[in-house]
Structure 1
């Protein structure tokens, strides 16, 4: 009985251990041809799975000869199927393991074929690709190359409507002949009223000066110059500022550092006076460019000191003190006050009493004062402009007071990029001179401007004509706005009017202001600056620059503004 049962168990075991040679195919590592896998050994799941089970009967088929190349280059495939065949519960491993092995085998063969694929026919020989280039290519395809946090931040689209308006106007600029339906630029404070005077002077003097006058020969413009400005230009600029500011104050050329415009001057002072994370107090509304000048690279914050229309947006020491105290409670270190005089965008002028109050406040809080006086010569009202330098007495610590000026506004040379820092702090001057390495004025510009400023007769006639033309255009423009029901804040200087259009916005909020700004761009084809871009706390105020147009173009602008006014009135 025992012998018969043993024979029955043996009969249950399949006798076929050798599968057809065409059942499995694989590529030898040494050749692209396919070799047969002649035998498939069945191994037991029990034990180490390394010993093959011997057959119960002699195999009827002759066993193939051992292939040495196959044993060295091939793969030994082990399939644990014996438990399934014998019915001892090996179903899970007997199905999953072979599938997994077959998947990896196919993946292995696929990769082998891709590595040994024949080159594509080409008329020109191709250079072999080095492994280092391959590694670089594979690494670069995984992730994008990184930028600095600063570059990532400032490369984003502008969120200030001031710059958005400038950019949209530049894409469709108005031209009386070539593009009469384009956008009229009234958002940029650019003085074009006296371009004819500047052009005439350059036409008369450029050829003579370039031949060698006032060092404008090749030896005067080709070599390196001092980064903080040549002394000749500092002296000429000192005389010009003296004349612009009513000849009431003199500026020492040795206390001056020249920069490529007022923008780098403010940035350099921010570097010198405050650390990253510190803050300046700024009365609102203020020039939108301050946000970039101070925040972008120096990392200095601006804390608004809100002024209101009931006081014609004039600064008060009470509001200044409240903003200072609130900032200190939040742990913010206030390093100074940044202020425009004359004000941009309102156009009002700080009185002498207010300047003295600012001096006392700065000394009491032990902070600096930066005054931007770029509109000092662009006055048209009855109020007299008073420079900060005029109220600095000998018994005052002058090291905390700094003045910024440029020729972009009063002399209509915005493209020349000529600015200046006037400081009474030796350490600030020393640091600023080194920092001007990154914002130096070109040598030809310095020499040409020196020649222009040295022409006293031209400068005197220009300043008189400039003030006259600004007054004419401003009075006509403000009067026409008034007839449309748009009132402007009282002003005495600048190249803009601060217009109150709160009656045209629905709802009375910043959202309504932005919608009205969009109407001016799309319906009237006019670019103006909304008050929210100037951090004005009251919705509905807009800065409109009138020096970008001539007196003859005022009716055209008013006609376009009337479209928006009528559209708002009809919808309401």
Structure 2
């Protein structure tokens, strides 16, 4: 783990913080302790994090580090956990920006955990072991597993069983778990979101070594629709990591104006509860619009319950079962259909023919137009390949209602794949 002994923090300004941490005031436990008047506490943020997680987890403000967005949070965490040339295991498909955020400046490597549509891209014990063995073959030291929960691009939450498999694996290998939970507030349907911290608590691992080897990344970009505010968070029970991350965060601070506005927004508990409720309602509605529009064109999407997007299966429209054919179809959809589509291969999907579709970044009228363009395109394509007709049926879900469909298809309507707001 990264250590930093000299960071310009030997001034009285920072020494005051250190003395406070040694002897913090508490009205009952330590009434003669030092009262913190030099630092804005993160109470409102940890309260919001707990609210999003149905108060199943209690967060301690002193274990929270603020960064200028989740991109900075993820990079900072990897700087703290891995040396150049060491590796992280990441389930596929995953957000393409991780190749930049986790690798470019840290020098860390990514080894994919290959997941497949046969079980809806769920993590398995065998997939974890195979990825670990692959890292060993490449002479890479594995420092941890990095997950996104809810998943981008799948729009799904990890099950309790998956989280338990992951925790058991990490304990056996003595490695870390980083859980990017920036979409936790976008869960709009069952099953409910389970934070990695909640899974640890359920297994009564608070006193174990693993308690200090699990770290959460969070953000307000998706939960509150504030990508421009650039507010990211690192949460960890590991004091050494938090100390290192705190020092590194000084290179990407959040402005005082942003912090002031944030405290006002999060301090309005009634507004936050209303917003979360209304946001979920709107996401369900948009998800249903997309799913029903695709179903009308005979298109299936992976069953999802979170996020601002769906993962859709286009394998029947490929000329061959190859990533080259996927890229050919992708170019056709952009140039001929007029939809900004991103192929699954950009997300390191292990199977060709999958695409991510965003449904929350446009008006109802624009979404209707996109569905019409898709319908016109599908109707013009009469060359479905018979060897792909044997694909297992998927479900296009509209909320709790499930629609059986015939063809396999996918699109991703997002206009910001290269941006850092994900």
Asked if the contact 1:308–1:538 (Cα under 8 Å) also holds between the matched residues in 2, the reply is yes
- 1:394 corresponds in structure 2 to 206
CA distance in 2, matches of 1:245, 1:571: 44
Trace 1:344-423 onto structure 2 (pairs within 5 A). Answer: 344-392=152-200, 393-397=205-209, 398-423=211-236
Task: Report the Cα distance in structure 1 between the residues aligned to 2:39 and 2:134, rounded to whole angstroms.
Answer: 44
Residue 401 of structure 2 corresponds to none
RMSD value, Cα: 1.6
- Output the CA distance in 2 between the equivalents of 1:230 and 1:568: 62
| Residue of structure 1 equivalent to 2:148 | 340
Corresponding residue number in structure 1 for 2:116: 308
Q: 1:513, CA displacement in angstroms?
A: 0.8
Cα deviation for residue 264 of structure 1 reads: 0.7
**Preserved CA contact (<8 Å) 1:500 1:540:** yes
Partner of 1:20: none
Within 1, Cα distance between the matches of 2:367 and 2:330? Answer: 19
- In 2, Cα distance between the equivalents of 1:367 and 1:249? 22
Q: Does the residue aligned with 2:184 lie in a helix, a strand or coil?
A: coil
Superposition TM-score, scaled by structure 2 size:
0.79
Q: Which runs of structure 1 show a deviation greater than 6 angstroms over 4 or more consecutive aligned residues?
A: none
Per-residue displacement from partner, 1:232-284 (whole Å, max 9, x unpaired)? Answer: 4x211111111111121111110000001111111001101001011100000
Shift of 1:559: 1.2
Alpha-carbon distance in 1 for matches of 2:170, 2:135:
15
Task: Give the Cα separation in 2 of the matches to 1:530 and 1:570.
Answer: 20
SS at match of 1:523: helix
Q: What residue is the counterpart of 1:267 in the other structure? A: 75
Contact 1:278 1:334 survives alignment (8 Å): yes
Matched, 1:465 2:278: yes
Q: 1:244 aligns with which of 8, 32, 52?
A: 52
Does structure 1 conserve the Cα–Cα contact (< 8 Å) formed by 2:236 and 2:242?
yes
C-alpha displacement of 1:570 = 6.3
For structure 1, the 5+ residue unaligned runs are 1-228
**Shift, 1:432, TM fit:** 0.5
1:446 to 2:250 alignment = no
Residue-by-residue CA offset, 1:163-205 (whole Å, 9 max, x unaligned): xxxxxxxxxxxxxxxxxxxxxxxxxxxxxxxxxxxxxxxxxxx
Q: SS where residue 178 of structure 2 aligns?
A: strand
Corresponding residue of 1:568: 381
Partner of 2:394: none
Moved more, 317-326 or 469-478: 317-326
Greater displacement, 507-516 / 400-409: 507-516
Distance 1:390 1:340, change over 3 A: same
Displacement of 1:506: 1.3
1:283 matched residue in structure 2: 91
Shift of 1:394: 2.1
Mapping of 1:43-54 within 5 angstroms?
none
How many angstroms does 1:552 deviate by? 3.5
Q: 2:296 aligns with which of 483, 496, 512?
A: 483
- Match in the other structure for 2:248: 435
Q: How does 1:190-339 map to 2 (within 5 A)?
A: 231-232=40-41, 234-339=42-147
Conserved? CA contact 1:238–1:251, under 8 Å? yes
Contact 2:122 2:162 in 1 (8 A): no
> What's the CA shift string for 1:411-446, capped at 9, x where partnerless?
000110001000111111111011112211111001
Alignment length, in residue pairs?
343
Larger Rg belongs to: 1
Q: Which residue of 2 aligns with 1:5?
A: none
Deviation for aligned residue 1:364: 1.0
- Specify whether residues 230 and 419 from structure 1 end up closer, same or farther in structure 2 by C-alpha distance, changes over 3 A only: farther
Distance 1:383 1:331 in 2: 39
2:264 aligned with 1:456: no
Q: Give secondary structure in 2 for the equivalent of 1:488.
A: coil
Would the aligned equivalents of 2:113 and 2:127 in 1 still touch at CA under 8 Å? yes
Is the Cα–Cα contact under 8 Å of residues 230 and 446 in structure 1 kept in the other structure?
no
Contact 1:237 1:453 in 2 (8 A): yes
> Are the counterparts in 1 of residues 124 and 165 from structure 2 also a CA contact under 8 Å?
no
How far is 1:516 from its partner? 1.3
